[in-house]
Structure 1
Amino acid sequence: MQAFVTGGTGFIGAHVVRLLLQEGYTVKALVRHSSNLENLQGLKVELVKGDLNDANLAEKMQGCQYLFHVAAHYSLWQTDKQLLYHHNVQGTRNVLAAAQQAGIERTVYTSSVAAIGVGESGKVVDETHQSPLEKLVGHYKKSKFLAEQVAMQAAIKGQEIVVVNPSSPIGPLDIKPTPTGDIILRFLRRQMPFYVDTGLNFIDVRDVAWGHLLALQRGKKGDRYILGHQNLSLKQLLEQLAEITGLTAPQTAVPSWLPLSVAWIDEKILAPLGKPPSVPLDGVRMAQQPMYYNPAKAVTELGLPQSSLKTALQDAVDWFTSKGYVN
């Protein structure tokens, strides 16, 4: 059983690779020439140099039965608009075409809850919900929605494709870090005197990896599955971190207009003058609505594990600390 994995150097992808190896698969991982290979160090993985938009991708997939297309470009900066569509939409189109050409039997495509959108006024939504494209905040969410449509259309045309939509993963190996990892790091560094009144769905990243493998084994072609666990307000997450670390959680919520104003000045006025922006406008806009999801379909149909978030948070804290990120 040989699997081809894109995005294997990243947070979710590295855990998918580890799980595949643990379960007896051999793995080929597509890595860019500029990729940080730290997450694959010491693993018995065949590294294949290349890019999502390479013309000869089908050749690189030869001999593999399964594809996990985990790679995506993540950015909330509006200046990265073209990169987002090039990697996420065109890249997905190219990867899936190559998979068909290479005779890949089954593909798991990693979308995101970002592609689903959010419920009105913090309502919890499932896979049946879809915010219209124009209501998705920012080009990252829009690009993930359009990329998911590419995968769904390929499935309608006969390709064996299952779509998974992870929520906000937590755990070790978050090398970039992700936005959730960044929240944990800011808390550990005492850089969070206030919090934003918002909420997210969180899940242990190792459960997300299991969700990918279970989708390969049990998922219905052309269906999507939310890989999530617990809906928590940001305040509740920070309180859990306080309990784990003994550090004090911020007690005061900041009014939404304040970060919005800072981000607007940062990105629209100071960035064009050459100052690197520090707060993405789209990130602040996203935080104005809680992003709550119901993972029941993945739990029931796939057997998605629902491991303790506290353990995931503890492991993330330990990993960031041991790797020197906090200092």
Structure 2
Amino acid sequence: MQVFVTGGTGFVGAHLVRLLLQQGYTVKALVRPSSNLDNLRCLDVEIVQGDLNDPELWQQMVDCQYLFHVAAHYSLWQTDQELLYRHNVLGTRNVLAAARKAEIERTVYTSSVAAIGVGSSGQIVDETYQSPINKLVGDYKKSKFLAEQEAMQAAATGQEVVVVNPSSPIGALDIKPTPTGDIILRFLRRQMPVYLDTGLNFIDVRDVAWGHLLALQRGKPGDRYILGHQNLTLKQLLEELAEITGLSAPQRTVPAWLPLSVAWIDEKILAPLGKSPSVPLDGVRMAKQPMYYDASKAVRELGLPQSSLNAALKEAVYWFISGGYVK
């Protein structure tokens, strides 16, 4: 069976492409002309260049049975608002329309727990929870929420669309890197003398890839499935990294107002003067509250694996070091 994949050059997409090939699927991957193709090198994949908003995109899909729409624009910079909505919302609308026109049998859309939002005071939430859009911090989260609504509307009109909401994946091939990969990198580079008192849900990126394939095979159209595993405080994650690497974990927390002040000055004052900002304001605002999730629905209904996070962290550490990310 031939599968069309968007976002195959990215972290989750690259692992999904590998899994699909291992499971006997033929893969056609949509990439932008400017994409870094390192994650797809030496793989038996048909690569097609294009754009999510191309009105003729359906023509690239006509020989495929299934679609994984993984691609998204990720940015926490407030200046990227227009790009986020164009790629994530309008792009998703166009990709789903193309799938309809090409008569794709089933689509798996990669949303994010960012679209669900967070519970109050570290509350663990599941797929039934939804923050109002005005409570979602930043345009990235809002754009992912609106893009997920496009997927749900397509499902409501009879299109077979299943939504998956990955939490924070960990592992190799984090080429960009993702925010979680950036935490690991800053720890390895000794650029984290202090930490914020917050927390996240983490999962092995290979389990996220399996979650996508299982959603294709077993997911209910119009439903969403959180692809997550373990809720950890940032302190617990850093202590795991310390145990793996032998490096010391930071011992002091920093009050949220301090990075908020730095980020506000960076984005609101220095950036308009031409200085590249170093800390995204929305990123700090997000981190003020723990982001904990319950993935039991995906475990129960899809059979989502729950692999060791320690092993995933070791994979990430080895990949970053061997890839020259750490001097």
TM normalised by structure 1 equals 1.00
- Report what 1:136 is aligned to: 136
Q: Secondary structure at the match of 2:139?
A: helix
What does 1:164-203 correspond to in 2, within 5 Å? 164-203=164-203
In the aligned structure 2, how far is the partner of 1:326 from the partner of 1:108?
A: 35
> CA offsets, 1:249-280, max 9 Å, x none?
00000011000000000000000000000000
In the aligned structure 1, how far is the partner of 2:272 from the partner of 2:191?
A: 26
> CA offsets, 1:155-210, max 9 Å, x none?
00000000000000000000000000000000000000000100000000000000
What does 1:69-108 correspond to in 2, within 5 Å? 69-108=69-108
Cα RMSD after superposing both structures? 0.3
In the aligned structure 2, how far is the partner of 1:184 from the partner of 1:31?
A: 27
- Report what 2:219 is aligned to: 219
What amino acid is aligned across from residue 116 of structure 2 in structure 1? I
Q: Secondary structure at the match of 2:203?
A: strand
What amino acid is aligned across from residue 42 of structure 1 in structure 2? C
In the aligned structure 2, how far is the partner of 1:265 from the partner of 1:58?
A: 45
What does 1:109-258 correspond to in 2, within 5 Å? 109-258=109-258
How big is the shift at 1:55?
1.3
How big is the shift at 1:311?
0.2
How big is the shift at 1:136?
0.1
- Report what 1:307 is aligned to: 307
In the aligned structure 1, how far is the partner of 2:12 from the partner of 2:199?
A: 21
Q: Secondary structure at the match of 1:265?
A: helix
In the aligned structure 2, how far is the partner of 1:197 from the partner of 1:270?
A: 27
Q: Secondary structure at the match of 2:165?
A: strand
Is residue 48 from structure 1 mapped to residue 87 from structure 2 by the alignment?
no
- Report what 1:38 is aligned to: 38
In the aligned structure 2, how far is the partner of 1:190 from the partner of 1:133?
A: 36
In the aligned structure 2, how far is the partner of 1:224 from the partner of 1:194?
A: 36
What amino acid is aligned across from residue 324 of structure 2 in structure 1? G
What amino acid is aligned across from residue 316 of structure 2 in structure 1? A
Is residue 12 from structure 1 mapped to residue 18 from structure 2 by the alignment?
no
In the aligned structure 2, how far is the partner of 1:55 from the partner of 1:128?
A: 34
How big is the shift at 1:212?
0.1
How big is the shift at 1:62?
1.3
In the aligned structure 1, how far is the partner of 2:106 from the partner of 2:294?
A: 26
> CA offsets, 1:92-112, max 9 Å, x none?
000000000001000000000
In the aligned structure 2, how far is the partner of 1:61 from the partner of 1:50?
A: 12
What amino acid is aligned across from residue 321 of structure 1 in structure 2? I
What amino acid is aligned across from residue 177 of structure 1 in structure 2? P
In the aligned structure 2, how far is the partner of 1:62 from the partner of 1:321?
A: 41
Q: Secondary structure at the match of 1:141?
A: helix
Q: Secondary structure at the match of 2:95?
A: helix
Q: Secondary structure at the match of 2:36?
A: coil
In the aligned structure 2, how far is the partner of 1:255 from the partner of 1:139?
A: 24
What amino acid is aligned across from residue 154 of structure 2 in structure 1? A
In the aligned structure 2, how far is the partner of 1:214 from the partner of 1:326?
A: 35
How big is the shift at 1:221?
0.6
In the aligned structure 2, how far is the partner of 1:179 from the partner of 1:54?
A: 29
Q: Secondary structure at the match of 1:90?
A: helix
Between 1:54-63 and 1:230-239, the stretch displaced more is 54-63
In the aligned structure 2, how far is the partner of 1:85 from the partner of 1:176?
A: 21
Percentage of identical aligned residues? 82
How big is the shift at 1:215?
0.1
